[in-house]
Amino acid sequence: AAIARGHNFSAGPGALPTEVLEEVRDELLSFRDAGASVMEISHRSPQYTDVHEGAKAKMKSLLGIGDGWHVLFLQSGASMQFHQVPLNFLKPGQTADYIDTGNWSAKAVKEAQIVARDRGATVHVAASSAGADYTFIPSEAETSRSPEAAYLHFTSNNTIFGTEFGAEPLADCPLVCDASSDFLGRPIDTSRYGLIYAGAQKNIGPAGVTAVLVTDEFLQTRMEGLPTLLDYGTHAAKLFHTPPVFAIYIVDKVMDWITANGGLEGMKARNAAKAATLYGAIDASDFYRGTAREDSRSLMNVTFRLPSEDLEATFVSESKAHGLLALKGYRTVGGVRASLYNAVSPEAVDALVGFMRDFEASNG
């Protein structure tokens, strides 16, 4: 029997394509000819190796990157990357630049400062929108880059505040990007990056795996003598230990789904159209008010307010009764947040906009 699925606007873990979950269901008890689930076979078996290498190759192909890049599937979330990046790439005496555009950027800064303090290195906050409640992405003119930074770290999409970089920031050094909430949601200029990381659970899979993409050139500049598991080189050299096989297996299927739906250009068109529909509805009404500055609006997380917190609470509970899930804003900022990750369909956004009109008509 068909099980009803709501329109899922969750910020994370976020929506997965229904087609992917159907395939997972069909293969759950026995994967290909293994006679066991993919969770129950060796991570060195031919069946799993095919999945693991396939997921890496498909991700590279979507991004148009080649042998100069390593794809690593690590654990401990994007939060571990806040620490692992400076641990590997911020050497004694060096400076790393950070652009602070939200809670997650600020956490990345804090972890880098821990590493820098131990080593006599410097973390330079090159720009911050903290003073304006993180409602915008700083311009180049508002950014003060260090002359010889080891890297510049930025958060391409700010999940909580609904802002997103329109293009990569300028820098003479490699970019390091926390792309957790917009990874593979649009094409990027990969030539600008040394390292990109993303917790899978927003745009590319379930929680439990973090994709880390690093160029070999940047990798070679890392510190020596790091703890084995925290050294990116360990994972680039070989499959060192048991990876989160089930999560990677689903990521592999999501790569196929993205490819079948037009690749990154297809995702960009789909995501831009969904965001335009929702921002259009917000801008057409005095009842709803977007919180991000217009030039900084995210395609992935759309944040808005209603005239009162009471109305926001009613909106969230009534929307749920209409099958529109997880619209409550982040706990520290309140309001409403609709996350429009790749898997969220245009129909889901149409349903949300229809609900918003009706809600305004009865409460405005």
Annotated binding site: 44, 78-79, 104, 159, 178, 201
Binding site for ligand PLP (CB under 6 A): 12, 77-79, 104, 155, 159, 178, 180-181, 199
Q: Quick one: which of 357, 288, 289 has its CA closest to 322?
A: 357
Shortest distance in whole angstroms from residue 193 CB to ligand PLP = 16
Two tokens, residue 309 = 């917190």
159 or 296: CB nearest ligand PLP? 159
**Amino acid (one-letter) located at 320:** K
At its nearest, how many Å lie between ligand PLP and the CB of residue 128? 16
Catalytic residues: 104, 178, 202
Q: Quick one: 98 or 359, whose CB is closer to ligand PLP?
A: 98
Alpha carbon distances (Å) from 22 to 203, 240, 281, 311: 18, 31, 33, 37
Q: Under 8 Å CB-to-CB from 109, ≥6 apart: which residues?
A: 98, 100, 123, 125
Residue with smaller CB distance to ligand PLP, 245 or 306: 245
Least Å from the CB of residue 161 to ligand PLP: 10
* Closest distance of CB 127 from ligand PLP, Å: 17
Residue positions forming the annotated binding site for pyridoxal 5'-phosphate: 78-79, 104, 159, 178, 201
HSE-CB for 145 with a 13 A CA cutoff: 19
Cβ proximity to ligand PLP: between 243 and 281 the closer is 243
CA distances (Å), 217 to each of 139, 173, 174, 287, in order? 28, 12, 10, 51
Return the beta strands (E) in the chain as ranges.
Answer: 7-8, 69-74, 95-100, 122-128, 152-155, 157-158, 163-164, 175-178, 193-199, 210-215, 289-290, 301-305, 324-325, 336-339
Feature table: binding site for L-glutamate = 44
What's the CA gap between 54 and 30, in Å, rounded? Answer: 19
Alpha-carbon distance of 224 to 237, in angstroms, equals 15
Measured on CA atoms in the order 69, 70, 74, 79, is the torsion positive or negative? negative
> Which residue in the block uniquely carries the two structure tokens 């739906």?
261
User: What is the rounded CA–CA span in Å between residue 162 and residue 235?
Assistant: 33
- Taking the CA of residue 265 as centre, how many other CA atoms within 13 Å lie in the half-sphere pointing to its CB? 3
Coil, helix or strand at residue 61: helix
- Residue whose CB is less far from ligand PLP, 159 or 342: 159
Q: How far is the CB of 182 from ligand PLP (least distance, A)?
A: 8
Task: Give the distance, in angstroms, between the CA of residue 331 and the centroid of all CA atoms in the same chain.
Answer: 19
Cβ-closest position to ligand PLP: 77
Q: Considering the complex, what minimum distance in angstroms separates the CB of residue 155 from ligand PLP?
A: 5
Closer Cβ to ligand PLP, 104 or 287, answer by number:
104
Taking the CA atoms of residue 277, residue 197, residue 78 and residue 88 in that order, the dihedral angle to the nearest 10 degrees is -160
* 11, 181 Cβ separation under 8 angstroms: yes
Residue recorded with tokens 């068109």: 269
